Amino acid sequence: MRLRKHVPVIESTLKRVALRPAASSLCSRCRRYASSQAYPEKVAVLGGGISGLASAYFVAKEFPKSKITIYEANNHSGGWIQSRRVQTPTGDVLFEYGARTLRPGSNALITAQLIQDLGLTDNVIFAKKGSTGAKNRYIYYPDRLQRLPSPGEPPDFWHIAELWRSGLLAGAPSALLLEPFRPKRPDSLKDESIGAFIERRMDKRVGNNMASAVMHGIYAGDIWKLSARTLLSQAWMLEGLAGSIFRGMLKIQSETPLEEKVMLFHPYDLDVYKAVREEVKLDETFQRHLNGCAMFTFEDGMAELVMALKKNLENSGQVDFKFGSWVQDTKLVRDESRQYVDVTTGPTKSPSTERYDLVVSTLRNKHLTPFVTVQTVNLYFPNTNLIPQKGFGYLIPQSVAFEENPERALGVIFDSDAIQGQDTAEGTKLTVMLGGHYWDGWEHYPSDDEAYGLAMSLLRRHLKIKEEPTHYHVNLSKDCIPQYTVGYEERLKSYAAQVTDAYKGKLRVVGSQTHGVGVNDCIRGAWDMARRLRGAGWKKIESGLERATDDRYDGAWVSAPSDQGPPKIKQ
Ligand SMILES: C=Cc1c2[nH]c(c1C)Cc1[nH]c(c(CCC(=O)O)c1C)Cc1[nH]c(c(C)c1CCC(=O)O)Cc1[nH]c(c(C)c1C=C)C2
């Protein structure tokens, strides 16, 4: 499917690119302007969220002589990541409005290297793998908290029986047994919703109970809209390979020598993974802590990473911040020998235009994905024994009856259990997450007072909390999480082609809409973009969306052994 419209900033460019100049210096063999310039002298980064800051950082490292300007519409950097300290009579507590933790693992290696390079390792706090906050995760179903078995926990018959009795596992056993015998998807089916995929291969109830809870916790999204091909990519691939997820797993396992562990990669990710392994050099102690933790963050919250990045960029002398700068337009311009991008910013009545050799855009394209809005209510209670359940928190699946969730909450995080070491005040810290896909199409959202009322009514019903918090904060993150809905991969491909066509490699796209919604994803995307600019890479006609257009294996994945060295490709 082609995009009907384009991102506003590139729209005008698409009209103008038809007016081609006399291509006297267009190199006919490589189809790009032959420029003797060794590096991009002027670079613009559009957006000062984590993707924009990380992009500026990695581009500055690749090209120490480049001058970089970051345009940010708000008056602060960091985007959705905001951490605030609140004073209480007995000490202070930290409230996070956006992402609050990072997950370790291969996807976090670039983040870890960045943290180390910024000198932040001493400020990192780790939640150990076995800790209560890390291992106890709950799902609210149908009218109470159900603890999920944690990874590595020995199977407990009575626990499983209890979960079965609650109805949370309804349909799961037969779904798993029958999955290998269900018909293969028709070749014409290029994508479908997660809900439809699970219904087709297993059982609708498994989707509405388990999958929807997980998708609430990551995307705040609706399993009946999110793309199975993108978000359940491995299961989708295995079905394509062998007609069934289970049989696909068996096939790959049987073809892999016993001493190797199967890891499935998109071919593009395998290249990135290899490059990460080659370039990341972590201190032994830091690496050991990362290996042993379930999640990590900073003493002063995630904003520490943003502040350290900003300070580093300011001190580099290479980077200039322009806050309160709305990007109105970007367009490709050409003179006799070179191509540039003109970036127009500022208020509509008195806009200003600057010319750049290269632009990195983290701005959104509303035609690529919809977004959901999440409202967070952070609450602090001095009572340390407010709730009997200890753990990370709980998620509320779509299957929970309206009477049990009229507030349209997605989940509750037990912050004071999940991460310890951020607060000096003792007590219980919770965050209630409201909205997400339940608010699709809404024009008005709850006021702070209303959101507080919703959060408290939920906590009274679900956790039997009778006390009022002494401190709370409400934050509305409007359109904060992009939704990778059905057809996303085709739209992304088409978007990549449009960006390449319109900017001829002079504008690269990075960010949560195109590279994954997690903080690690955004940082890794920025790093990979900058890596591709290396040397003369910045002169290549690329868009930053090369993963989407990588047709080397026609959508297949490759498996690789998980040894410590660079993986060998197995096909
Ligand atoms: C503002 C709300 C967010 C919701 N999801 C995300 C944000 C920022 C992004 C996100 N959350 C998680 C992942 C998985 C992998 C990762 O990179 O960590 C992603 C991409 C897992 C997660 N879910 C919740 C938490 C606290 C975390 C850990 C990471 C983080 O701090 O964001 C709980 C949770 N997140 C959301 C809801 C509705 C929710 C409910 C309890 C939406």
Region 393-408 average pLDDT:
98
Region 549-557 average pLDDT:
71
- Is the minimum distance from the CB of 10 to ligand 1 under 6 angstroms? no
- Is the minimum distance from the CB of 129 to ligand 1 under 6 angstroms? no
Give the Cα separation of 158 and 165 in Å (integer). Answer: 10
Residue 16's pLDDT is 37
Kindly state the tokens that stand for 26: 């267009």
Region 198-205 average pLDDT:
98
Instruction: Tell whether the model's pLDDT for residue 424 goes beyond 80.
Output: yes
Atom 34 in ligand 1: which residue has the minimum CA distance? 217
Residue 8's pLDDT is 37
Give the Cα separation of 273 and 267 in Å (integer). Answer: 10
Q: Architecture of domain 85-134+369-481 in CATH? A: Alpha-Beta Complex (3.90)
Please give the helix or strand (H or E) that residue 26 lies within, else none. Answer: strand 26-27
Atom 36 in ligand 1: which residue has the minimum CA distance? 217
- Is the minimum distance from the CB of 517 to ligand 1 under 6 angstroms? yes
φ, ψ of residue 381 in degrees (nearest 5)? -120, 130
Distances (CA, A) of 487 to 230, 231, 426, 476, 494: 9, 12, 48, 28, 11
Q: Of the ranges 92-96, 122-126, 560-564, which one carries the lowest mean pLDDT score?
A: 560-564
- Is the minimum distance from the CB of 413 to ligand 1 under 6 angstroms? yes
The burial of 251, by beta-carbon neighbours within 10 Å (0-12 exposed, 13-18 middle, 19 or more buried), is given as: middle
Atom 40 in ligand 1: which residue has the minimum CA distance? 411
**Atom from ligand 1 closest to the CA of residue 102:** 18
**Stated pTM of the model:** 0.92
Cis ω on the peptide bond leading into residue 151 (within 30° of 0)?
Answer: no
Q: Where are the alpha helices (DSSP H) in 63-202?
A: 109-117, 132-135, 157-166, 172-178, 194-201
pLDDT averaged over the chain?
91
Please give the helix or strand (H or E) that residue 298 lies within, else none. Answer: strand 293-298
267-312 pLDDT, tens per residue? 899 899 989 999 999 999 999 999 999 999 999 999 999 999 999 9
Rounded to 5°, angle at Cα 52 from 51 and 58: 85
Atom 33 in ligand 1: which residue has the minimum CA distance? 217
- Is the minimum distance from the CB of 432 to ligand 1 under 6 angstroms? no
pLDDT band at residue 555 under the 50/70/90 scheme: low
Instruction: List Cβ neighbours of 101 (8 Å cut-off, separation of 6 or more).
Output: 127, 295, 296, 297, 302, 418, 419
Residue 245's pLDDT is 96
Compute and round to an integer the Cα radius of gyration of the chain: 24
- Is the minimum distance from the CB of 94 to ligand 1 under 6 angstroms? no
Taking a C-beta distance cutoff of 8 angstroms, is the pair 170, 201 a contact?
A: no
Atom 13 in ligand 1: which residue has the minimum CA distance? 218
- Is the minimum distance from the CB of 302 to ligand 1 under 6 angstroms? no
Q: Which of 136, 139, 218 has the most ligand 1 atoms within 8 A of CB, as the residue to mutate? A: 218
Going 411 to 417 to 421 to 423, the CA torsion angle's sign is: positive
Give the Cα separation of 38 and 539 in Å (integer). Answer: 9
pLDDT band at residue 243 under the 50/70/90 scheme: very high
Domain boundaries, the chain: 8-78+299-368+485-539, 85-134+369-481
Q: Which residue has the higher pLDDT, 335 or 447?
A: 447
pLDDT band at residue 6 under the 50/70/90 scheme: very low
219-228 pLDDT, tens per residue? 999 999 999 9
Residue 361's pLDDT is 98
In total, the chain counts a number of residues equal to 571
Residue 26's pLDDT is 45
Atom 26 in ligand 1: which residue has the minimum CA distance? 100
Q: How far away, in angstroms, is 99 Cα from ligand 1 center?
A: 6
Q: What is the CATH number of domain 8-78+299-368+485-539?
A: 3.50.50.60
In single-letter form, the type of residue at position 350 comes to: S
Atom 7 in ligand 1: which residue has the minimum CA distance? 99
- Is the minimum distance from the CB of 411 to ligand 1 under 6 angstroms? yes
Q: How far away, in angstroms, is 526 Cα from ligand 1 center?
A: 20
**Atom from ligand 1 closest to the CA of residue 520:** 17
Kindly state the tokens that stand for 361: 């855009």
Atom 9 in ligand 1: which residue has the minimum CA distance? 218
61: helix, strand or coil: helix
Instruction: List Cβ neighbours of 316 (8 Å cut-off, separation of 6 or more).
Output: 60
CB atoms within 10 A of CB 5: 10
Pairing between strand 91-96 and 83-88? Answer: antiparallel
CA-wise closest residue to 197 among 223, 174, 168, 169: 223
Atom 21 in ligand 1: which residue has the minimum CA distance? 218
Rounded to 5°, angle at Cα 126 from 124 and 132: 155
Atom 30 in ligand 1: which residue has the minimum CA distance? 99
- Is the minimum distance from the CB of 216 to ligand 1 under 6 angstroms? yes
Atom 23 in ligand 1: which residue has the minimum CA distance? 217
Kindly state the tokens that stand for 296: 């990590």
**Atom from ligand 1 closest to the CA of residue 376:** 1
Give the Cα separation of 21 and 24 in Å (integer). Answer: 8
Q: How far away, in angstroms, is 57 Cα from ligand 1 center?
A: 25
Residue 523's pLDDT is 98
Give the Cα separation of 356 and 515 in Å (integer). Answer: 24
